[in-house]
Structure 1
Amino acid sequence: MPSRLLPLLLLCFAAPALAGESVSRELEQGLAKSLQAVGENHLDVALNEVDSLLKINPNFKLAQLVKGDLLLARAKPISGFGDAPNAPRDRIQDLREEAEARLQRVQQQQPIAVPKYLWQLSPRQRYAVVVDTGKSTLYLFENVNGEPRYVSDFYISVGKKGADKVSEGDQKTPLGVYFVNGRLTKDKLTDFYGPVAYPLSYPNEWDKREGRDGHGIWLHGTPSDTFSRPPRASNGCVVLANNDLNEIGSHLQIGITPVIIASKIDWSNEADRADRASLLKEIEQWRNDWASRDTEAYLAHYAHDFSAGNMNLAAFAQQKRLVNSGKTWIKVRLSDVSIFPYPSQPDLVVVNFEQDYDSNNLSNHMNKRQYWMKRNGRWQIVYEGAA
């Protein structure tokens, strides 16, 4: 047993079971018990525990490795994790990293706060997903009367090269605010991706503005003969055990559910609540200035580096002045507003809403997305377009 795993065992074994446990969490608790028994030299107890894990899922390779070590220990003393002769070192190292990640997850407590990235959920968004790549964990939150409430969490694998994707083929998982874009079923997938896959909206508008490219970032499962993969094993996707993926899949809404990916989750605090209040006030002022036909006050809400597709601030302002000059009255109504601070960019927030626009010569309805950034204490719009 590697010495770096031993300190985790006492912490993990003492950790309470969490409400809303997933299959991954159940297996992790069993793994901790088995390794605890190994540390106490109760090898028969450890073997019974690991046999129980393999009954739950025979393809749990980490449990298979522990069982192999325990059987080997009957013949000779073992000096480390994965001590079988001629075992491939790279595979053993992958499983060691999975063991550490899973034991650290057992140690984690149920969140008592809300991630700072969930400032406001739309009434239509029944659930939100937040991924912590550093802790190999995906959190599921339910929208309960407008407040995010923790439901469960799941072990995940991310990119081979870690997080913060920049370019096609860099084998990194992107960091940002994304949405579930679709659902691919078995008839459109190879076995490698599991029973179902959910494409995400990478690259989003901010990624494109920052010159980030690539495609095909999905939430997906594992091959039918594999329970889970090492913490860093994908080409950039977020990978879950198939039963965990099926569990969260029942809660995902195409085009609606946010999936926010961070390298380390920050939790909401009083400063976040103050920032949220000031942003909501600024959004309402933007709406009011537009409806009042005060075009210059309306345009002051847009940053100097604002863009909307290929249109910069100067072109946008010229168009708005021309359009508004023909209006005798304007009404603007916003509904289903959601607000998500961006995890990898300080003071950047993604705002989505339904917009109903009426005037003396035009009426329309659209789903709109804006990116607001706070600079020198003031929120301004740096991007605007259809959602």
Structure 2
Amino acid sequence: MWGRRTFLATTALGLLAACGSKFRSYNGPEVTQILIYKGQRKMYLLHGQTAIKTYRIGLGGNPVGDKKVEGDGKTPEGLYYIDRRNPNSSYHLSIGISYPNAADRAEAEALGKKPGGDIFIHGRAKKNKGRGKDWTAGCIAIKDGEMEEVYSMVRVGTPILILP
């Protein structure tokens, strides 16, 4: 009898631990592009021309306009790519955006400044809850549970188009 109880208890604990993981699996259609409309505070995960998922987003603390230089608090605009994944992010989970590209670097250099970098789509990491809708240093923020979905769905190399 102890054997059966031990087995059931161990199985139940294993299932609970699996439910608590921030890493999800995804078996749906491939995300072929990410589309961001900064003015609408919306992010769309697309398969071809079809939106698979839509999310409300937070942006940099100075959200209007294109990112030009390091420290301007703006979220970049233009065509980029997802270039890395960070399972150990300080913001729950994150996926990196290929900012700055060559044009961004040249533009900042012409201003005598650095373009900045480390732009991500990331979660809020509970410590940032309640900071308002636009609180990042230029990144795109969504809820932690939503970031778990996005992290499972989006692959390195996925294009991301960020529009005003």
Q: Same fold (TM over 0.5)?
A: yes
Pick from 152, 155, 158 the counterpart of residue 257 of structure 1: 158
Give the match's secondary structure for 1:244: helix
Q: Percent identical across equivalent pairs? A: 27
In the other structure, the counterpart of 1:131 is: 36
Residue in structure 1 matching 2:103, options 168, 192, 206: 206
| Higher CA-based Rg | 1
Correspondence 1:304-315 to 2 at 5 A: none
Q: CA deviation at 1:127?
A: 2.1
Distance 1:174 1:138 in 2: 14
- Aligned pairs for 1:14-163 within 5 A: 126-143=31-48, 148-162=49-63, 163=65
Letter in 2 for 1:183: R
Kindly state the Cα deviation for residue 226 of structure 1 after the two structures are TM-superposed.
5.2
Does structure 1 residue 219 correspond to structure 2 residue 116? no
Aligned pair count?
Answer: 129
Residue identity in the other structure for 1:160: G
Any conservation in 2 of the 1:164–1:172 contact (CA below 8 Å)?
A: yes
TM-score (norm 2): 0.72
Mapped contact 1:227–1:242 kept (Cα < 8 A): no
The one-letter code matched in structure 2 to 1:129 is: I
Q: Which amino acid aligns with 1:243?
A: G
For residue 137 of structure 2, the aligned residue among 232, 235, 248 is: 235
Q: Secondary structure at the match of 2:108?
A: coil
Which letter maps to 2:142? L
Tell me the SS of whatever aligns to 1:208: helix
2:47 and 2:53 map into 1 onto residues whose CA distance is 10
CA shift, 1:244, in A, is 1.0
- Larger RCO (CA within 8 A; separation ≥ 6): 2
Alpha-carbon separation, structure 1, partners of 2:153 and 2:85: 12
User: 1:174 corresponds to which residue?
Assistant: 76
TM alignment of 1:6-21, pairs within 5 A: none
Where structure 1 has 5 or more consecutive residues not aligned to the other structure, the ranges are 1-124, 264-387
Letter of the 1:240 counterpart: I
Q: Note the alpha carbon deviations across 1:205-225, whole angstroms, 9 max, x for none.
A: 221233361111111111235
Residue by residue over 1:267-324, the C-alpha shift from the partner in whole angstroms, topping out at 9 and shown as x without a partner, is: xxxxxxxxxxxxxxxxxxxxxxxxxxxxxxxxxxxxxxxxxxxxxxxxxxxxxxxxxx
2: distance between equivalents of 1:152 and 1:222?
19
Once the 2 structures are TM-superposed, how far is the Cα of residue 227 of structure 1 from its aligned partner? 5.2
Kept in 2, the 8 Å contact 1:222–1:228? The answer is no
Provide the rounded CA distance (Å) in 2 between the counterparts of 1:228 and 1:261: 25
More helix per residue: 1
What whole-Å deviation, never above 9, does each CA across 1:215-266 have from its counterpart, x for those lacking one? Answer: 1111111123555752221110001101111112222111x10111111xxx
Q: Which residue type is aligned with residue 106 of structure 2?
A: R
> Distance between the aligned counterparts of 1:208 and 1:233, measured in 2?
24
Letter in 2 for 1:262: L
The answer on whether the counterparts of 1:222 and 1:229 sit within 8 Å (CA) in structure 2 is no
Instruction: Kindly state the Cα deviation for residue 178 of structure 1 after the two structures are TM-superposed.
Output: 0.7
